[in-house]
């Protein structure tokens, strides 16, 4: 701590509660914060001082950009003033009389982590973790947190608020696996991590010195409830920057369709990915009901990475053989071929043709002017409540990744009407691509154009229930049987 050099004057003392608790933790990854005003930055600055009497100690401080980094350095220089620190700039390097060194850096671009490859940092402090867009980039960075010095244990300390482009993966890694203040052991690595939440109530210094700050947070309860829950309460379910705030699991997730499958038009929306997940989302379009509403149902999902185009085509062909499907909507990049290679679309078409599958493979027109903005608007419209007091769109629980990631998407920082492409948007891209095709072909979301009736035969593996709805359980049994049979061929 800052008083470890036994000076007569105590330079800093942690507040009782979360701030005191977090400085005693020994997990490999420690996430601290949640709400605003919890004393996160001070705790991180102090946490770095545990080993500053050891000449071999090396630490790294990461902020998103240079401006944020300069603010941290200014604050650290004041808190370290009594410890004999010497600071060189661009980027800042903090040197202590013992020989211990704290370096600083930022992650302004995807390859920024390469600047720290090959280095050894026994401690790493990452400020505002949710500003790192992906877990992959985070893992690349923390690979430099290690120790060849027995008395220096490697650890990572992170601060954050809900929201930001990395909200989804941070929540999945730190918030969901274990309750607050309870360590979680990663089954793959064996390393431990923990989330310690803190609110402005845990920072009596701020409450005393700036009561108007707390009053401002309380005013958000009326002015912006979403912002209030994120900033004042530290809620990870509602956060600043969220695109589809109207999503409600209790309303939009439904395990049955309104109509028998034989009366629905069926479309597969697809988003290509190999290193990142690829995704297929099945959309069923029901006939108009008595209120003139045509319900949309996303009822099946495949979400995988490491699959080549031919493997995807083969997988989808099994579904198309079992269940008659009208359209497969592919994004624009599936119709382009770099360096003369075959297009992904042509590979799909060849596989489907050999299997005598009549499903039409069509472009999603995702490159058209305003397409990205239109997709956001269509998803908002689909999530809205229809005249019969139900949402225009339902999602089956099997569409788990669409349900998980849709409410976690954030706005693009430059074009605030768009979704940030660094978010985990694969399921959204597949689903919204299907919606865009539906809108362009039939204008179905507004209900202004009639569809001609389907004549295709119903799937024998989708069993209507007594109330006219259906369950896809029999279908999945048949699909798994065919997959198993094919694996033995």
> Within a domain: residue 337?
yes
pLDDT at position 230: 78
CB 65 within 8 A of CB 229: no
Whether residues 294 and 183 fall in one domain:
no
State residue 44 phi and psi, 5-degree precision: -65, -40
Whether residues 320 and 398 fall in one domain:
yes
Of 184, 212, 240, which residue sits at a domain end? Answer: 212
Across 346-355, average pLDDT: 93
Whether residues 207 and 351 fall in one domain:
no
> Within a domain: residue 185?
yes
Whether residues 289 and 163 fall in one domain:
no
pTM exceeds cut of 0.75: no
pLDDT at position 182: 95
Whether residues 408 and 336 fall in one domain:
yes
pLDDT reading at 409 higher than 70: yes
CATH number at residue 257: 3.30.420.280
> Within a domain: residue 270?
yes
> Within a domain: residue 10?
no
Whether residues 197 and 272 fall in one domain:
no
CB 124 within 8 A of CB 156: yes
> Within a domain: residue 370?
yes
Whether residues 258 and 363 fall in one domain:
yes
CB 170 within 8 A of CB 129: yes
> Which tokens hold the place of 319?
């579904």
165 CB neighbour count, 10 Å cutoff: 23
pLDDT reading at 475 higher than 70: no
Q: Taking Cα atoms as reference points, which of 185, 244, 276 lies closest to residue 380?
A: 244
Whether residues 162 and 288 fall in one domain:
no
CB within 8 Å of 386: residues ≥ 6 apart: 291, 293, 295, 392
Q: Which residue would you say has higher pLDDT here, 401 or 286?
A: 401
Of 183, 212, 241, which residue sits at a domain end? Answer: 212
**Of the given ranges (4-13, 243-252, 397-406), which has the lowest mean pLDDT?**
4-13
Domain that holds residue 281: 249-487
**Total domains in the fold of the chain:** 2
Residue-wise pLDDT for 54-73, tens only, equals 999 999 999 877 777 888 99
Looking at every residue in the chain, the average pLDDT score rounds to 83
pLDDT at position 448: 43
Question: 128: alpha, beta or left, given left = phi > 0 and alpha = psi -120 to 50?
Answer: left
Whether residues 261 and 185 fall in one domain:
no
Whether residues 207 and 254 fall in one domain:
no
Whether residues 151 and 262 fall in one domain:
no
> Within a domain: residue 231?
no
> Which tokens hold the place of 79?
């808190």
> Within a domain: residue 225?
no
Whether residues 351 and 437 fall in one domain:
yes
CB 168 within 8 A of CB 408: yes
pLDDT at position 201: 87
CATH number at residue 66: 3.40.50.300
> Within a domain: residue 7?
no
């Amino acid at each position: 701590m800052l008083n470890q050099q036994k000076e007569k004057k105590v330079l800093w003392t942690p507040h009782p509660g979360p701030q005191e608790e977090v400085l005693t933790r020994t997990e490999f990854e420690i996430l601290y914060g949640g709400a605003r005003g919890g004393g996160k930055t001070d705790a991180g600055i102090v946490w770095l001082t545990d080993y500053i009497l050891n000449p071999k100690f090396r630490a790294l401080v990461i902020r998103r950009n240079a401006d944020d980094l300069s603010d941290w350095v200014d604050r650290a220089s004041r808190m370290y003033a009594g410890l004999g620190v010497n600071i060189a700039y661009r980027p800042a390097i903090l040197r202590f009389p013992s020989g211990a060194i704290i370096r600083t850096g930022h992650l302004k671009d995807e390859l920024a982590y390469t600047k720290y490859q090959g280095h050894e940092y026994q401690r790493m402090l990452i400020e505002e973790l949710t500003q790192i867009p992906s877990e992959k980039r985070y893992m690349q960075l923390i690979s430099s947190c290690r120790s060849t010095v027995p008395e220096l244990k490697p650890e990572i300390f992170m601060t954050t608020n809900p929201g930001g482009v990395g909200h989804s993966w941070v929540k999945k890694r730190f918030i969901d696996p274990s309750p607050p203040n309870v360590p979680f052991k990663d089954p793959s690595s064996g390393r431990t991590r923990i989330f310690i939440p803190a609110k402005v109530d845990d920072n009596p210094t701020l409450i005393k010195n700036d009561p108007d700050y707390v009053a401002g947070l309380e005013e958000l309860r009326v002015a912006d409830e979403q912002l209030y829950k994120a900033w004042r309460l530290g809620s990870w379910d509602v956060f600043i920057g969220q695109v589809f705030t109207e999503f409600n699991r209790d309303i939009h997730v439904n395990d049955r369709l309104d109509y028998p499958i034989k009366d629905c038009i069926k479309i597969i929306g697809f988003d290509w990915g190999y290193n990142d997940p690829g995704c297929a989302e099945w959309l069923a379009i029901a006939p108009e009901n008595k209120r003139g509403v045509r319900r949309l149902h996303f009822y099946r999902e495949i979400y995988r990475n490491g699959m080549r185009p031919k493997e995807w085509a083969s997988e989808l062909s099994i579904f198309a053989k079992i269940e008659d499907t009208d359209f497969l909507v592919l994004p624009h990049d599936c119709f382009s071929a770099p360096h003369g290679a075959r297009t992904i679309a042509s590979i799909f078409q060849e596989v489907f043709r050999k299997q005598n599958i009549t499903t039409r493979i069509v472009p999603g027109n995702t490159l058209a002017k305003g397409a990205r903005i239109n997709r956001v608007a269509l998803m908002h419209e689909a999530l809205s409540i229809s005249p019969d007091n139900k949402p225009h769109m339902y999602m089956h629980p099997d569409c788990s990744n669409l349900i998980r990631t849709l409410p976690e998407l954030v706005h693009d920082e430059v074009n605030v009407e768009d979704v940030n492409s660094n978010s985990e948007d694969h399921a959204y891209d597949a689903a919204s691509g299907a919606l865009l095709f539906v809108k362009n072909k039939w204008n179905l979301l507004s209900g202004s154009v009639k569809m001609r009736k389907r004549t295709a035969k119903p799937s024998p593996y989708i069993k209507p229930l007594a109330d006219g709805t259906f369950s896809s359980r029999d279908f999945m049994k048949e699909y798994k049987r065919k997959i198993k049979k094919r694996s033995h061929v």
